[in-house]
Amino acid sequence: MDVALLHGLLLLLILPVLLYRYCATFHYFCKVTFFNLWVLAMATLLSPFAAIRGRCVENMKLLCAAIRPLKHLYGIKIEVLGAEHLNLKEPYVIVCNHQASLDLMGMVEVIPKRCVPIAKKELLYMGTVGWACWLSGIIFIDRQRTGDAIDVISQTAETIRRENLRVWIFPEGTRNQSRSMLPFKRGAFHLAVQAQVPIFPIVISPYWDFFSSKEKKFTPGTFTIRVLPRIETRGLSPKDVPELTETVRKTMVDVFSEMSSNPCRDWPAELPLLPSTGATKGTDGVWHDEDTTGTSD
Ligand SMILES: CCCCC/C=C\C/C=C\CCCCCCCC(=O)SCCNC(=O)CCNC(=O)[C@H](O)C(C)(C)COP(=O)(O)OP(=O)(O)OC[C@H]1O[C@@H](n2cnc3c(N)ncnc32)[C@H](O)[C@@H]1OP(=O)(O)O
Ligand SMILES: CCCCCCCC/C=C\CCCCCCCC(=O)OC[C@@H](O)COP(=O)(O)O
């Protein structure tokens, strides 16, 4: 009887290890659970420190530092191209494709100083995670109430100029692991036009090789983040927003397709891009920023 009990206990200990090793679905759920627990634990540990400062964008540094070790724990290599484009002292809007919660790992590699993401309000109700996000100045919108969300974005247009902030928006508005990008919501582009600030598109290469929530796959891997040259909005008005949105989306989709079809990761450091008043075309046929000397404050 004792031996049987011992065998049972042993099996109970070994079973999760075997499942983790040989069952891809179990492996996937363990890794996703650990990711969420990590975020929750860090938020719980750091929120009291952040609370000392109060609601303040400087607290984003704490959040980002807490997320950074995750890539090492998961064996994920992240390459960043074009980060120097973000070295601009003025406020701006970043638009980025959104595949999964894993985007946080990439986001913390490139997010400039004084930058706040726009997030769905549901995050606010995730206990200490919501508290940590609120304390870091993250802007929340209710996607079900377009009017309210537009009001929040309009207020943000004033705030970013007044307080010299950058805003990070996922214009697809939801996570998307399809082969392309969803149609873009227009809030980010209205925001940039209202504030008359440039837009920086950021493209994260597909995770297909190592992560898929549909196939329950989560292995070590590599992805690349490309920061594209800025697109000016100076002189544009709300009537230009639909075209601006489509032009930026097309540029990002083209870059995403190139990243998808070229697994060797030998992309040029610069890509020919759409003309913008803030970029000039060099003799090499590549669009370059006019101002690359500014540094993040
Ligand atoms: C220590 C550890 C702590 C743990 C914390 C964890 C991590 C910390 C690190 C990082 C922080 C977390 C990061 C969180 C990321 C979360 C990501 C998300 O939540 S994504 C979801 C939220 N984002 C969005 O939804 C994108 C923004 N949405 C929009 O822009 C939308 O446009 C909208 C404003 C919500 C409206 O949505 P709708 O579906 O109605 O879309 P349309 O775009 O078609 O708009 C309809 C209509 O309105 C016009 N419009 C839109 N915006 C404006 C505006 N600002 N001003 C005027 N008009 C506007 C638009 O043009 C359309 O009209 P028309 O068709 O006539 O053009
Ligand atoms: C008292 C309640 C306590 C609840 C505790 C919940 C703990 C949750 C712990 C960790 C959550 C980690 C969240 C990381 C946030 C990642 C941001 C993100 O990717 O959000 C998704 C959002 O862009 C789009 O959402 P949808 O694709 O539309 O859906």
Q: For residue 101, how far is its CA from the centre of ligand 2 (angstroms)?
A: 7
Is the predicted pLDDT of residue 223 greater than 60, yes or no?
yes
Is the predicted pLDDT of residue 81 greater than 70, yes or no?
yes
**Which of 150, 166, 193 should be mutated for ligand 1, with most atoms under 8 A from CB?**
150
* 133 touches ligand 1 (CB under 6 Å): yes
State the ipTM, two decimals: 0.92
CATH architecture of 3-261: 3-Layer(aba) Sandwich (3.40)
Which ligand number lies closest to the CA of residue 175? 2
The closest alpha carbon to 20, from 9, 8, 32, belongs to 32
**pLDDT value at residue 72:** 98
In this prediction, residue 274 has a pLDDT band, given cuts at 50, 70 and 90, of: very low
In this prediction, residue 270 has a pLDDT band, given cuts at 50, 70 and 90, of: low
Please report, rounded to a whole number, the percentage of residues in the chain having pLDDT higher than 90: 79
Least confident of 120-129, 167-176, 281-290: 281-290
Separation of alpha carbons 158 and 233, rounded Å:
15
* 153 touches ligand 1 (CB under 6 Å): yes
**Which of 35, 98, 139 should be mutated for ligand 2, with most atoms under 8 A from CB?**
98
CB-based pocket (< 6 A), ligand 2: 36, 39-40, 98, 101, 104, 120, 126-127, 129, 170, 174-175
40, 67 contact by CB (below 8 A) = no
Q: What is the pLDDT of residues 24-45, one digit of tens each?
A: 899 999 999 999 999 999 999 9
Angle CA 110–115–119, to nearest 5: 100
Cα 186 → chain centroid: 17
**pLDDT value at residue 276:** 43
Is the predicted pLDDT of residue 204 greater than 90, yes or no?
yes
The closest alpha carbon to 93, from 109, 114, 79, belongs to 114
**Rg, Å, the chain Cα set:** 21
Residues in Cβ contact with 214 at an 8 Å cutoff, skipping those fewer than 6 apart:
177
Separation of alpha carbons 292 and 142, rounded Å:
36
Is the predicted pLDDT of residue 275 greater than 50, yes or no?
no
Higher pLDDT, residue 289 or 183: 183
Question: How far is the first Cα of the chain from the last one, in angstroms, to the nearest whole number?
Answer: 69
Higher pLDDT, residue 261 or 126: 126
Burial 110-146, CB ≥16 within 10 A → b, else e: bbbebbbbbbebeeeeeebbbbbbbbbbbbbbeeeee
Q: Write down the domain spans for the chain.
A: 3-261
Global pTM reads 0.88
Q: For residue 88, how far is its CA from the centre of ligand 1 (angstroms)?
A: 24
**Which of 135, 185, 202, 236 should be mutated for ligand 1, with most atoms under 8 A from CB?**
185
Q: Strands 279-281 and 287-289, how do they pair?
A: antiparallel
Q: Strands 115-120 and 287-289, how do they pair?
A: unpaired
CA separation, residue 246 to residues 16, 73, 165, 184, 288 (Å): 48, 38, 25, 8, 21
